[in-house]
Homo-oligomer: A and B are copies of this chain.
């Protein structure tokens, strides 16, 4: 006894009206001249039958599917990076949209397949998200629906959502200054001399620019700047171990939380206390930051808000071109000394 799907025609029949009337009433057209009585009857009938519109049929007619493609190089590299999806998901849900999630692994062929699969399904918009790469590769295929770049940029699609790295960089330095940590400062993760000719991604360049701008504003300089191309835990550990053989820093500005974790390990081995001997501040607000002991003070990547904004831009009248910068907020934990004024 398999139930047939309830169609609009069924609703109309029960309400004693035409499908036209039922459609107009249920889709909530404003300029319709149908009577209040008709409205009531149709809604009653729909409720009684448990009518749910067939999205495929609607899509066929209107070219709108109420679904959005979220195409990402990686679905999530960190728990916190999954905030990008989560934010998008909840904004989409709020707008009665659904997310088609596709992963490309950064591979051109898979990216092309993903875009085609999405377009075949009549998505109303596309989000091109980058978890790792910042400059997003895009195959040469036209995307005839609104598109926004998330956490990355590409010349073909002018609308993008990015963290406000410049301000984030400034905030990190400001926190250090507020905590009274102003000398024997070490920058962990980048050294312009060592990386001459290499190209750091745009957002990271801005983070660094923000840091330097605020340092300069306070008349401060780094005692040492340690370069590492990768920013993994092991790099942080190695760098700080080597650092400690030569000098005793008072503050470490780490370019991400994984580097900071490595620094914790090296400092722990050297029996240096945090933040008593060495203060740390970092970026990302990775899952790790809350696990560390003491907790790591860090400038959060606002993933959730970014994902949400991307959807909102897409669903808005017309995605405003340009970069939309989302503020990075400081998450204060125990790795900076508290100033007792």
> What residues of chain A have their CB less than 8 Å away from a CB belonging to chain B?
2, 52-57, 59-60, 65, 67, 70, 74-79, 81-82, 85-86, 89-90, 93, 96, 98-103, 110, 113-114, 116-122, 144, 233, 237, 258, 261, 265, 268, 287-288, 290-291, 293
Contacts and interface: CB of A to CB of B under 8 A. Distances in A.
30 contacts: A52-B120, A53-B120, A55-B120, A55-B122, A56-B56, A56-B60, A56-B65, A56-B121, A56-B122, A65-B121, A67-B121, A75-B76, A75-B82, A75-B85, A76-B79, A76-B85, A79-B79, A79-B287, A93-B102, A93-B103, A98-B102, A98-B118, A99-B102, A100-B100, A101-B101, A233-B290, A237-B293, A258-B291, A261-B291, A287-B287
B116 A52 contact: yes
A78 B287 CA distance: 8
Given A55-B121, A60-B56, A293-B237, A90 B75 contact: no
Nearest to A268: B268
Report, nearest first, the 9 A-B pairs whose CB atoms are least far apart: A56-B59, A76-B82, A101-B101, A233-B291, A56-B60, A55-B120, A56-B56, A55-B121, A89-B103
A209 to B, nearest CB: 29
A268 B70 CA distance: 43
Given A53-B120, A75-B85, A82-B82, 15 more contacts: A54-B122, A56-B57, A56-B60, A57-B60, A60-B60, A67-B100, A78-B79, A79-B79, A79-B287, A85-B101, A89-B102, A93-B114, A99-B101, A101-B101, A233-B293
Contacts of A77: 79
Contacts of A101: 70, 85, 89, 99-101
A23 B93 CA distance: 36
A98 B100 contact: yes
Contacts of A293: 233, 237, 265
Contacts of A116: 52
A290 to B, nearest CB: 8
Given A53-B120, A54-B120, A60-B60, A75 B86 contact: yes
A53 B120 CA distance: 7
